[in-house]
Amino acid sequence: MPAAKRLLRIAAVLALSACALLPSASLAAVCDVEATLTQVSPPALKLLSPWKTNALAGPELTEFKPSQQVTREQYADYLERYREAHALDVSLETAVDGLEKQADGSWLVRTSKGVFAAPVVVNATGYFGNAFVPELEGRRTTRIPQLHFNRYRGPETVRATLGKNTGRVLVVGKRLSAGQVMRELADAGFDVALSFRGKLEFAPVGPEPGALGRAVLFRVGPKLEGLALALGLKLPRPTMEGGRTKELVRSGQVKTFANVARFEADAVVFEDGRRERFDLVVYATGFRPVLSHLEGLVRLDEKSGAPVLVDGGQSADAPGLYFLGLDGQSTDASRFLRGLREDAARLAARLAPATK
């Protein structure tokens, strides 16, 4: 099969459908799907949205119920079965080194396994492949161990890092991931503190919506978010869960601190001047797009680190280069599988005439 058609087929069926979590993918879908899912998320992680909003196009390959929340391992296995069922020519464990724009407007994609040619390129490296850690004074010289959420697998990670079952842990962040780490470590017997910028907010706790309610939430919600973005409205960011997480903070069991100002050899100094000792710091500070292979091709937003886009996900600087899986690209769900699936379908339809 010609390279361009092979790349298009992969993009339309897999890369354009399921690469929001993949760390090293282009139109050629050069990535290791299973390794990515297992490296950037804790084993107990489940997809927040129901199965029906994450299943890819084509015949159903599983026995999952439409409202079921599957685990990361189950979804990784599903992607492998999907690739096999559709006989997709996906190059695994292949690094994309760079892109070259040709005189006729097409692209050459340089990889660790050779050079591919394509009329267009879709960069689907997603949102979760590049852990962001703020560059704080003293962070690289302090004796305090540090790790990012992408390396956190549960309390056992902290026990292994510290070599003991107790200790004082500072969690940096204020959204869902920070709340998850804080709660798990507190319940496991660690002395946990929380550092964050601004105001700490908690999501309201209500009754479980049930299968029908979840279906409505994850179908209608993204459409409303897309409308809000089109109107230039600012969307609320995900907040920390309420319930047990909120109680840990309100009761004082988890102490709160201002944003970290700097590190000393064996202590953390906060912006309000307080100085505290910790055995470990866990960053729940989010991610940035994986774009090192596009250096010199695209401009990046200084705040988000995302490429500047126009016209439905196309690079403002490199026509023929498209993106999927970026935070807030079309809805607030665009960085997640459920949102990426919708964005991918629209982009595939748009690209079809240009890649025949």
pLDDT in tens, 243-254: 899 999 999 999
pTM of the predicted model as reported, rounded to 2 decimal places: 0.73
Domain that holds residue 172: 146-203+238-283
Residue 100 has phi, psi (to 5 degrees) of -130, 125
Q: Which of 224, 248, 283 is the last residue of a domain?
A: 283
pLDDT of 28: 39
pLDDT of 255: 97
Per the model's pLDDT, the better-predicted residue between 42 and 239 turns out to be 239
d(CA 30, CA 93): 7
Token pair belonging to 297: 């091709």
Q: Within a domain: residue 64?
A: yes
Q: What percent of the chain has pLDDT over 70?
A: 76
- Looking at the structure, do residues 96 and 67 belong to the same domain, yes or no? yes
Torsion (CA) 228, 243, 216, 341 in degrees, nearest 10: 70
- Label residue 60 exposed, middle or buried (CB < 10 Å: 0-12, 13-18, 19+): exposed
Is residue 13 scored above 50 in pLDDT?
A: no
Which of 68-72, 121-125, 222-226 is least confident? 222-226
- Looking at the structure, do residues 79 and 64 belong to the same domain, yes or no? yes
- Looking at the structure, do residues 158 and 272 belong to the same domain, yes or no? yes
- Looking at the structure, do residues 47 and 150 belong to the same domain, yes or no? no
d(CA 57, CA 294): 29
- Looking at the structure, do residues 265 and 176 belong to the same domain, yes or no? yes
- Looking at the structure, do residues 261 and 322 belong to the same domain, yes or no? no
CATH number where 75 lies:
3.50.50.60
Query: What kind and span of H or E run contains 96?
Result: strand 96-101
pLDDT digit string, tens, across residues 153-166: 899 999 999 999 99
- Looking at the structure, do residues 40 and 75 belong to the same domain, yes or no? yes
CA separation (Å) from 263 to 240, 254, 260, 274, 347? 26, 21, 8, 12, 45
- Looking at the structure, do residues 304 and 271 belong to the same domain, yes or no? no
- Looking at the structure, do residues 262 and 311 belong to the same domain, yes or no? no
**Beta strands 314-315 and 255-257: pairing type?**
unpaired
Annotate 108-166 with DSSP letters as a single string: EEEETTEEEEESSEEE---SSSSB-----BTTTT-SS-EEEGGG--SHHHHHHHHTSS-
Contact 160, 138 (CB under 8 A): no
- Looking at the structure, do residues 100 and 68 belong to the same domain, yes or no? yes
Q: Within a domain: residue 100?
A: yes
Instruction: Return the bridge partners of 131, or none.
Output: 287
Structural domains of the chain, count: 2
Left if phi > 0, otherwise alpha if psi is -120 to 50, otherwise beta: which for 296?
A: left
pLDDT of 347: 86
pLDDT of 125: 83
Which of 93-107, 171-185, 200-214, 270-284 is least confident? 200-214
pLDDT of 355: 58
Token pair belonging to 129: 């492949």
